[in-house]
Amino acid sequence: MDIITMLNKYGFPIVMLFGLAWLIWYIWNWVTKEIKPLLGESNDTLLALIDRIRMLDNDLIRLNQKLETTLELRGEKIAHETDEHLEKINRKNKPAKDKNIDIS
């Protein structure tokens, strides 16, 4: 049966109803057979990437804490060395000041 005969026998709305039903059936099969498996694979890949991002975030947090600790300890060391050098300078200058005081 060709389309013209079906249109004359059943009418345009009925023929288009079957055409639309076939289109919906075709799209449903295409989505369930081709798209759904790809979505499952993509979901697995996405979960793996999310896990990697979380691991990298944890690593960045740890590295940031190590850096802050290192900078804090280095700052304390620099402050301690500065204090030692100032004490040495003060010790060297103190006897000279005492001598100057005794001479006056």
Digit-coded pLDDT (tens) for 39-75: 989 999 999 999 999 999 999 999 999 999 998 988 8
Q: Has residue 94 got a pLDDT over 80? A: no
pTM (predicted TM-score): 0.47
By CB neighbour count within 10 A (0-12 exposed, 13-18 middle, 19+ buried), where does 19 fall? exposed
**pLDDT above 60 for 97:** no
In sign, the C-alpha dihedral spanning 90, 96, 98, 100 is: negative
